[in-house]
Structure 1
Amino acid sequence: MPKTLSSDDIQQFRETMRCVAENAFATRGAQGVTMRELAKELGCSAMTPYRYFRDKDEILAMVRAAAFNRFAARLEAVAKEAPATDRSAVSDAYVAFALDEPHAYRLMFDLNQQEAAYPELQAASHRAWRMLGTHFEQLVAAGLLEGDPELIGYAYWASLHGFTMLALANQLPLPQAQQAAGSAAPTREAVFAQIRRMLWRGAQPQRG
């Protein structure tokens, strides 16, 4: 008869599974991962994960929820420290998270699940979008940007996501620290700075 699992037992197993599954899903894709493979990588029997999860989709939802929460926490921490009118801090934090945690970032946005079926994932996703929404509402309220904050936010996200995915695929110029001395090519940092200038210029209030 299986022993009764304590809350600590459950939490420890779930966290171990999260780490293993994040790498597996990100590198092999959701369709390329099975419960049996995850169990093997954890060093447990094929049936053990079913004591903690209904199926693979529930594991994927847990992994994505954790990623969204870490993403939101990174943005929230930066927004708390920076002035509400700082237009660069949040975008810098957005890209920094993706470059620091590429597996997590890809799983957040490359996959789609019915979030209503996974309350933890739905709450984490909404937390991240609420943070971004509040950021643009503050910039519009301060008169630094003009227009619908939600629409500006989507345009902003689309641009940053495009930049980030190209950077993760090594399709952008090298960062300054990796370029050869005397190189005339634009750096990745310069491309990012240009994107920000274009975004802000397009949403700035029209004077006169």
Structure 2
Amino acid sequence: MASRVVRERVRGEVRQGILDEAERLIREEGLPGLTMRKLASRLGYAPMSLYSYFADKQALLRELGRQGFEVIARRLEGAVERGGVDGVRELLVEFVRYAHEDPVHYRALFLGDRPVTDRPECPDAVNPAFALLSEHVAECVARGALSGDVLATSTVLWTAVHGAATVVVTFEHCPFGSWETYAETMVDTALAGVRARPLTGG
């Protein structure tokens, strides 16, 4: 029993080491620069040995995505100091701040050629950051501070903040002078929209 526990621990450490090196490679060369052969070479492994831990490159990317989403969710949760709509606003602005501070990570997770999840139709199933936003939106809807269907309203806000984040990481000069002013303007506009009229899912 003890030897099996040790083997599983060692396997987990090796697997995480592969993921850590893959993230470093992506940061250095971008998502297109990640290949299983190049990753194996950097680690000093035979190329086929990586497939003992990940079925293929997409499986590795999905796990990187899962871990990346958890990091973002923890960051967003830590940024929320107030309740209600003010808390939703803090969360959304912090998301753009994350993209501004770590554009390589944002591009890899959200702007790649293929999604890092195999469940693109259900973002909250794999993205705890979206789930966190939905929780705050649900609280606001229950209190009457925001209107409409929780999933629809959350999706509208998520879409708006992604648009703002993509502009921030793509263009050197943001509208309104600074990225923060631009982000706050976009978030305030989106929140005004979901306050003004109900949204329905489906």
Same fold (TM over 0.5): yes
Percentage of matched positions with identical amino acids: 25
Aligned residue pairs, count? 186
Q: Provide the alpha-carbon RMSD of the alignment.
A: 2.8
Shift, 1:113, TM fit: 5.3
- The residue aligned with 1:83 is 83
- The residue aligned with 2:200 is none
Task: Go from structure 1 to structure 2 and tell me whether the alpha carbon gap of 1:41 and 1:90 turns closer, same or farther (over 3 Å shift).
Answer: same
Q: Which runs of 4+ in 1 moved over 4 A?
A: none
Structure (1 or 2) with the larger CA radius of gyration: 1
Encode CA deviations 1:69-117: one digit per residue, 9 max, x unaligned.
11222223334x432442322112212332333333223223325626x
Task: Go from structure 1 to structure 2 and tell me whether the alpha carbon gap of 1:103 and 1:16 turns closer, same or farther (over 3 Å shift).
Answer: farther
SS in 1 for 2:148: coil
- The residue aligned with 1:179 is none
Encode CA deviations 1:139-194: one digit per residue, 9 max, x unaligned.
222222222222221121111111111111234339xxxxxxxxxx6222221221
Task: Go from structure 1 to structure 2 and tell me whether the alpha carbon gap of 1:190 and 1:205 turns closer, same or farther (over 3 Å shift).
Answer: same
Shift, 1:126, TM fit: 4.4
- The residue aligned with 1:180 is none
Kept in 1: contact 2:130–2:158 (CA 8 A): no
Taking the TM superposition and a 5 Å limit, the aligned residue runs for 1:1-208 are: 6-25=7-26, 27-29=29-31, 32-79=33-80, 81-86=81-86, 87-110=88-111, 111-112=114-115, 115=118, 125-173=126-174, 186-205=177-196
Shift, 1:136, TM fit: 1.0
Kept in 2: contact 1:166–1:172 (CA 8 A): no
The amino acid that maps onto 1:165 is T
Shift, 1:25, TM fit: 4.4
TM-score normalised by structure 2 residue count: 0.76
- Structure 1 unpaired stretches of 5+: 117-121, 175-184
Task: Go from structure 1 to structure 2 and tell me whether the alpha carbon gap of 1:123 and 1:13 turns closer, same or farther (over 3 Å shift).
Answer: farther
